[in-house]
Amino acid sequence: MEELSAKEVKAYIEEFPKRADVKLGFLLKNKAIVAAYETPIGQDILRFLIQEHEELFEKITQLKATDEEKLRFQVLRDVIWRIADRIKRYNKQVEDVKQLKE
């Protein structure tokens, strides 16, 4: 997980005081989520979700899935997408702040 130094945060706040509140608030809010998925248990959970999603996808493509399985597939797809999106946005925000020093 990308980290920001105190120096980088200070420089960003000084350069963009109006934007800093929103951007840094987003980073603090999502840091815990990103960190959780980088732990062994977080990786196991994500791996389980993806494996279950793949198994359900296989059933759906073979036209063997029940209505309940189709619904679980959709829910898992949404959960996996949301996790991936938050991690992606977090890393992008960190990069935006880090680019200031370049």
Tell me the per-residue pLDDT of 61-98, one tens digit each, with 9 for 90 and over. Answer: 999 999 999 999 999 999 999 988 888 888 888 888 88
Residue 50 near residue 20, CB atoms below 8 Å: no
Contacts of 99 (CB under 8 A, 6+ apart): none
| Closest CA relative to residue 35, chosen from 77, 90, 101, 74 | 90
Residue 87 near residue 33, CB atoms below 8 Å: yes
Tell me the per-residue pLDDT of 4-30, one tens digit each, with 9 for 90 and over. Answer: 777 887 887 888 877 778 888 888 778
| pTM for this entry | 0.71
The residue with tokens 């840094």 is 24
Whether residue 101 is predicted with pLDDT greater than 70 in this model: the reply is no
Whether residue 102 is predicted with pLDDT greater than 60 in this model: the reply is no
